[in-house]
Amino acid sequence: MHAYVARRLLSLLPTLVIASLIVFISIRLIPGDVVDLMLSNNDISAEPKSREQLIAALGLDQPMWRQYLLWVRAIVFHGDLGTSLWQGTSVTEQIAARLPVTMELGAIALVVSLSMALPIGIYSAMRQDTAGDYAARSFSILLLAVPSFWLGTMVVVFPSIWWGWSPPIDYVGFFVNPWQNLQQMVVPGIVLGTSLSAITMRMTRTMMLEVLRQDYIRTAQAKGLSERVIVLRHALRNALIPVVTLIGLQAPLLLGGAVIIEQIFVIPGMGMLLLEAVSQRDYPIVTGVFLIVGVAVLVINLLVDLSYGLLDPKVRAR
């Protein structure tokens, strides 16, 4: 197991290098230049001299390959993701302040998603082709068809019109005031988790149906074991392996893809930071956010692979 983990960790390095190259180059190919934005926002005349001075001050006068190597060297030797071109503050500090917010939102969404998807998916498989099964399948299809941004907008708009209530917008850290923090984070977490639960629900049902048709399940039923024991001790663990894989694939949505939800509910997380950085062409922040999200996604997928051994003893034996 130790050798397997070491090999997987080493395999992360080329993946991160390729991903960082793609992000580093692609963000600079987006139409619009950060220098032009700065000159226009500060009402500075775009004279060649002023423009050249600004380019040199930002370090953009060097070739792109040299900028990339300097960026990588700062990360490897100093753990420094660079400095924001607009605020002049450390990108590492900004990400460190925003990452816990997004992780909290993602954790709430994941709990909501699994709390809905697993029980409904299992029930739907156990009651195949009954009224409850049709209702559960229709519900999952409805959630697939409803975009999370639309659901979030409706949650904000209609309660404010009907009851004069809207989610709080002044963010308070969890350790500052846990109750006030949860008041703001639970609603967007439910919206995001509800949207993510649809595909997990359908995957759970499909895998449970496949496992329930196996010979060992029929043997357990012939021995007179209760339905609860058959599901929890024999069927569920084998059915969960593809479901766990799917949850790992949803990690980018939980960490970096909640941009619209954070925008709707005014949550100062990684999504908001990334959106602001892209609109301002703040290259160090964009590359830093993508690098952190990439590392997190790769580590989560490694943990998902390791969890297979807990669910299926045959994986440990191999």
Structure-token pair, residue 273: 């930071």
Burial tier of 271 (Cβ tally within 10 Å: 0-12, 13-18, 19+): buried
Q: Which residues contact 244 (CB under 8 A, 6 or more apart)?
A: 304, 307, 308, 311
Which alpha helices (H) appear in 250-282, and where do they start and end? 251-255, 259-264, 270-280
Q: What is the pLDDT of residues 141-197, one digit of tens each?
A: 898 888 888 888 888 888 888 888 777 777 888 888 888 888 888 888 898 888 888
Start-to-end CA span in the chain (Å): 10
> Is the four-CA dihedral 180, 160, 109, 127 of positive or negative sign?
positive
Q: What is the pLDDT of residues 181-194, one digit of tens each?
A: 888 888 888 988 88
pLDDT in tens, the chain (318 residues): 677 677 777 777 888 888 888 888 888 777 767 777 777 766 454 455 577 777 777 777 788 888 888 888 888 888 888 888 888 888 888 888 888 888 888 889 989 999 999 999 999 988 888 898 899 999 988 988 888 888 888 888 888 888 887 777 778 888 888 888 888 888 888 988 888 888 899 999 998 888 888 888 888 888 888 888 888 888 888 888 888 888 887 877 777 657 788 888 888 888 888 888 888 888 888 888 888 888 888 888 888 777 776 666 665 555
